[in-house]
Amino acid sequence: MLLALPFGLLPWWLNYTAFLSLSFAGLMAACCLWRRRGEQRALFLAGIIACPATAFTLGAGQNSFMSAGLVTAGIWFMRRRPKLAGLLLGLLAFKPQLALLVPVALAAAGAWTAMAAAATTVAALLLTSLVIPGLPLWRGWLHLFLSNDPAFHHWVEAGREFGDSVFTCLQLAGVPPAWANAGQLAAILLAAACVWRAFRARLPDATRLAVLLGAMVLAAPHVGDYDALLLGIAAMLTLTEARPLRRTDIILATAIWVSTAFQPPFIFHAAIVTPLIIAAFIITRTTHNAHERRGAPPLDPVTRERAAQDGA
């Protein structure tokens, strides 16, 4: 609410246009950090623009450009400008279901300055929200959340049933709610393990980001078609790598890029396999260049910077 207030002061058409234009420009700027060569950058940006999830974001007037831009830029600056990285990643608290694994990534990377900056940003947002829009909004939300109001809890359950999460897919496959929740928890644990391993290993920074983006979607308790933009970015980070790709990497990256076209699962039940594809993607990306983790010397800072820029 706090971040949306400035746009709420505008007429609807200007509100919609301004928010999507600014957030899209921010996402493109963040993506340009990861691909600095001409043809490589052009292909990378074109793939994100053409991603089906981009169309869903525009059609729904959603905030996916903003959330994707924050995490994409935040991970880029994690080592280079950790305080700025923490500020960007802390702002992702506006969509906490997507931010579940950000602390895992920062802790695994030992990026404690960025972690502290992110925590400070979240605390500052919370404190500010006590003044603008103020305590009444918080009291109203807590009253609803802690009450036994059946209408409110029905709305919460409806939101979970009409997303693209692991819980939703299992429910649509006929799995009882308790087991669907267990499946969602298992997805969170698997995603967290992949992120931890990726950020602890000597993997290229672009590969780490691709794992994190895929894991964020897999772990989210509620996720929509528009949030699959994170998958589109992860796919293009993979497909535009400078080094040769394994056939498995190409197939899985292409599959997650196009997955939104087969969502939501309550319309196309074949989409129930989407979480499995995402899981396979992040696992294979985590095991990327396993020989580098078996004793290869770490890259010097200059080489690491060049490799990160090239997406190698």
How much is the pLDDT for 150?
79
d(CA 309, CA 277): 28
Tell whether the torsion through CA atoms of 266, 271, 274 and 276 is positive or negative.
positive
| Closest by Cα among 48, 43, 90 to 67 | 90
What pTM, to 2 d.p., does this model score?
0.88
Contact of 173 with 272, CB cutoff 8 Å:
yes
In tens digits, what is the pLDDT along the chain, a chain of 312 residues? 777 888 888 898 999 999 999 999 999 999 999 987 788 899 999 999 999 999 999 998 899 999 999 999 999 999 999 999 999 999 999 999 999 999 999 999 999 999 999 999 999 999 998 888 788 888 888 888 888 777 777 777 777 777 789 998 888 888 898 999 999 999 999 999 999 999 999 899 999 999 999 999 999 998 888 999 999 999 999 999 877 888 999 999 999 999 887 765 555 555 678 899 999 999 999 986 554 444 334 443 434 454 444 444
How much is the pLDDT for 272?
74
3-state secondary structure 211-233: HHHHHHHHHCCCCCCHHHHHHHH
Q: Which two tokens stand for residue 249?
A: 């990497």
Distance linking the first and last C-alpha atoms of the chain? 39
